[in-house]
Amino acid sequence: PLLGRHRGPPISVRRSETLVTLTMATYKERMALKSKEEAEKARREKERREFKEAQELESLKRVFKRLDKNQDGKVDVDDLSAELTFLQMPFTRKEAQMILWEVDDDNDNAVDWEEFRTTFHRTRDDKTGCEPRKLFHVIEFLMHDKNHNGVIDVDEVLSILYVRYGKESVDAKMQDMFKDEDDKNIRFAKFMDIQRASAKEAMRNTPSIVPSVRGLSYSRDPSKVLDI
- Residues 126-170 have pLDDT tens digits of 888 788 889 999 999 999 898 899 998 888 777 777 877 777 777
- Residues 68-78 have pLDDT tens digits of 999 999 999 99
What's the average model confidence in pLDDT over 8-23? Answer: 65
The pLDDT of residue 43? 87
CA distances (Å), 129 to each of 162, 167, 195, in order? 17, 20, 14
pTM confidence score: 0.68
Higher pLDDT among residues 75 and 2, named by residue: 75
The pLDDT of residue 30? 76
The pLDDT of residue 19? 66
- Name the average pLDDT for the chain: 79
226 has a pLDDT exceeding 50: no
65 has a pLDDT exceeding 70: yes
Return d(Cα 4, Cα 20) in angstroms, integer. 29
Confirm if 91 and 183 have CB atoms less than 8 A apart.
no
Ranges 26-30, 43-47, 64-68, 132-136: which has the least confidence: 26-30
- Residues 165-213 have pLDDT tens digits of 777 777 776 766 665 555 678 899 988 887 787 777 767 766 554 444 4
